[in-house]
Chains A and B, each alone.
Chain A
Amino acid sequence: MIAASAASSTHHEPRPVWSLRGVCFQHPGATRPTLDNITLDVASGRMTAVLGPNGAGKSTLLHVLLGTLTPAAGDVRFQERTLAEWSRKELAREIGVVPQGEAEPLFSAREIVAMGRYPYLGPWQRERPEDDAAIRRAMERCDVAAFSDRWLSTLSGGERQRVRLARALAQEPSVLVLDEPTTFLDVRHEMTTFALLRDLRDAGTTVVLATHNLNLAARYADDLVLMREGRVAAQGAPASVLTADRVADVYDWPVSVVPHAGGAPQVVPSDAPVR
């Protein structure tokens, strides 16, 4: 799966992993639509970052992509089939998800990562050698192999997040979806996480993440989707999406944009206006 998309990306425009057409969704009790007529393609083999202010609908969009929320109107296709045609187990073999927060029961790190293999195992089946190998690889990749037998509750927030990332990698997915993966991480862990995501993207995994970190998204992501009040305000390469006017308009805060050494725009928020 991974090799195929890597090969196809060099020959022609690959099929989009996700295509949304006219998707509408409203949370019960909300005054306006949470997602308002969204039409969007998520490209295969690239890193796409979903940005926007609080309440713009980033998480809701991710849930719609993943099928945990069903839109009131519109069409969602994953790999050219509608989501309804996919069973949860099939989806779980394709998509690895790193959610924002979870309960923390008494499991060891390895047990958590091993859950990534559940979609491949029947109820009475024990873990096979290939499962053990996948788990080991994932843990080494995310640098959590040392925590193997430690209980999750004894690890720091950043370490737990890496364990969850390892779990998603253990699924050997073709797509990785992350919901605000670096919100509670310090600089070092933020950078290593994004570097890992880039490596995965280079290896052919499609990466979709929702984040508040405009600048790191601009540096690492191939495509940005900027949302505002349930609509896509802009979509495309970071340079074209992150202009000072547009960011100030979407976030309702004055900013200036400066270029980064690697060419990606960096957003610098201004001080609060003097009244």
Chain B
Amino acid sequence: MTVRAWPVSLRLAVLGVVTAVALVAAVRLGAVAMTWSALADAIAGRGDPTTITIIRELRLPRAVQAALVGAALAMSGATFQALLRNPLAEPYILGVSSGAAAGAVLTVVTGWAARFVWSLPVAAFAGAVLSMLVVFRIAFNVGRTLDTRVLLLAGVVMSAFLAALIWLVLAFADTESVRSAIFWMMGSHATASWRSVAILAVCLAPSVVVLFALARPLNLFAIGEPTAAYLGISVERTKLVAFGTASLLAAASVSVSGTIGFVGLVVPHTVRLIWGGDNRSLLPCAALLGAAFLVAADTLARTIAGANELPIGIVTALVGVPFFVWLLRRPTGGLTT
């Protein structure tokens, strides 16, 4: 049976195994070397307390957060690609990443981030949501419907504007703030804790359920809004819910881990190129592949340079691009949304 012909259950099982392997590797590998038995002991709570701390309080929450963020970004990207009928669509396309970066940079430069550590993710989330609302408002002005082309343009323009603001603020900030801001923007899971994982999971769970429920309507959106209407979808209402949910997923991800690009764009395309665009299978498969990919990238970022951590956004792009280029060059009958 070719890979293309796998039934959905087999795809999910295989991807699930891949994700599990990535998670195990993420816990096993790190700046500090560890044997399998030491790892098992630490997870069970036996043995050296420092090792237990490293595994339970540092590596595990970080791996889980990377998995959640990867899944969220992949699902968000798949949703935007269907809604906008554009293969370049990705989670940050409505200005979410720039809004989050603006919020984060403000807290860094004003010193709030150092004093109240939670102020940064909260400000990032607020910035992302605000940016999204402004973009929606702009797109709503034209007619009383949500015009997707205007939405796309408004998002691009908003991103550019916010980016300019961010650089303006950084131009007058001190070097340390600039360095911190830039590193945040390149993405990192170093701040992961069980608390942040729990909060993220609580934010993600309802969004994921909503998107799964919208899988069929999203298939129809991918073909066209008139067609979706002809086949029974209340287009404007469904669009609003889908855009809002996908943006919230992106906003939540960005506020905990900075802007990690490439995952939301390429992971859904990868799944689509193999198994087609039916969102009932695409969404869960992309979620698993995104989780595995980001966990693996995070592990690589942590281990490739000894104790020096690379920002994860660099790893996802450097590793992901060659793979995706290879996938594109295979004869698949063309890449469309």
A interface list, Cβ under 8 A from B: 28, 63, 66-68, 87-89, 91-93, 95-97, 99, 102-108, 111-112, 115-116, 118-119, 121, 123-124, 149, 151, 153-154, 171
A93–B232 CA distance with the chains assembled, in angstroms: 8
Bound-state CA distance A151–B4 (Å) is: 11
Closest chain-A Cβ to B173's Cβ sits at a distance in Å of 44
B110 within 8 A of A: no
Asked whether B39 is an interface residue with its Cβ less than 8 Å from the other chain, the reply is no
Residues on the B chain within 8 Å of A116, using CB: 231
Among candidates A28, A92, A97, A107, residue contacting B219 with C-beta atoms closer than 8 Å: A107
Which residues on A sit within 8 Å (CB–CB) of B85?
103, 105
Docked-complex contact A103 and B337, CB < 8 angstroms: yes
Contact A106-B227, Cβ < 8 Å, known A115-B219, A123-B213:
no
Partner of B333, one of A63, A92, A102, A154: A154
Contact, CB under 8 Å: B231 / A105:
no
CB of B232 within 8 A of CB of A88, answer yes
* Least distance between B320 CB and chain A CB atoms (Å): 20
- Known pairs A112-B223, A118-B219; list 7 more (Cβ under 8 Å): A92-B230, A99-B230, A107-B277, A107-B278, A123-B213, A123-B214, A154-B333
**7 A-B pairs with the lowest CB-CB distances in the bound complex, closest first:** A92-B232, A119-B232, A89-B232, A97-B230, A123-B213, A106-B277, A105-B222
Known contacts A103-B224, A123-B214, A154-B333; is A111 also within 8 Å of B276 by CB? yes
Q: Cα distance A89–B234 when bound, in Å?
A: 8
Among residues 320 to 337 in chain B, which have CB atoms less than 8 Å away from a CB atom of chain A?
Answer: 333-337
Interface residues of B (CB under 8 A from A): 5, 82, 85, 143, 212-216, 219-220, 222-224, 226-227, 229-234, 272-273, 276-278, 333-337
Residues on the B chain within 8 Å of A68, using CB:
226, 229-230
Q: How far is the CA of A151 from the CA of B219 in the complex (A)?
A: 14
* CA of A103 to CA of B82, assembled, Å: 11
| Alpha-carbon separation in the docked complex, A73 to B216 (Å) | 34
Measured CA separation A97–B220 after assembly (Å): 13
**A149 / chain B contacts, CB cutoff of 8 Å:** 5
For B269, give the chain A residue with the smallest CB separation.
Answer: A106
Q: Is the interface of A mostly helix, strand, loop or mixed?
A: mixed
Q: Which residues of A contact B222 (CB under 8 A)?
A: 103, 105, 107
A66 CB contacts on chain B under 8 angstroms: 229-230
Contacts of A115 in B (CB 8 A): 216, 219-220, 223, 231
When the two chains form their complex, are residues B277 and A99 in contact, meaning their CB atoms are under 8 A apart? no
Determine the distance from Cα of A16 to Cα of B336 in the docked complex, in whole angstroms.
Answer: 42
From A87, A106, A119, give the contact of B231 (CB < 8 A): A119
Q: Which residue of B lies closest to A171 (CB)?
A: B231
Is A106 a contact partner of B273 (Cβ separation < 8 A)?
yes
The reply to whether A91 and B232 contact each other, CB–CB distance below 8 Å, is yes
A–B Cβ pairs within 8 angstroms, 6 of them: A93-B232, A97-B230, A102-B224, A106-B337, A107-B276, A121-B216
Cβ-defined contact, B334 with A153, below 8 A: yes
Contact B336 A124, beta carbon cutoff 8 Å: no
Q: Which residues of B contact A123 (CB under 8 A)?
A: 212-216
Known: A111-B278, A115-B220. A103 touches B233 (CB 8 A): no
Q: Using Cβ atoms and an 8 Å threshold, which residues of chain B touch A89?
A: 232
Q: Which of A88, A112, A116, A171 has the most CB of B within 10 A?
A: A88
Cβ distance B18 to chain A, nearest Cβ, rounded Å: 22
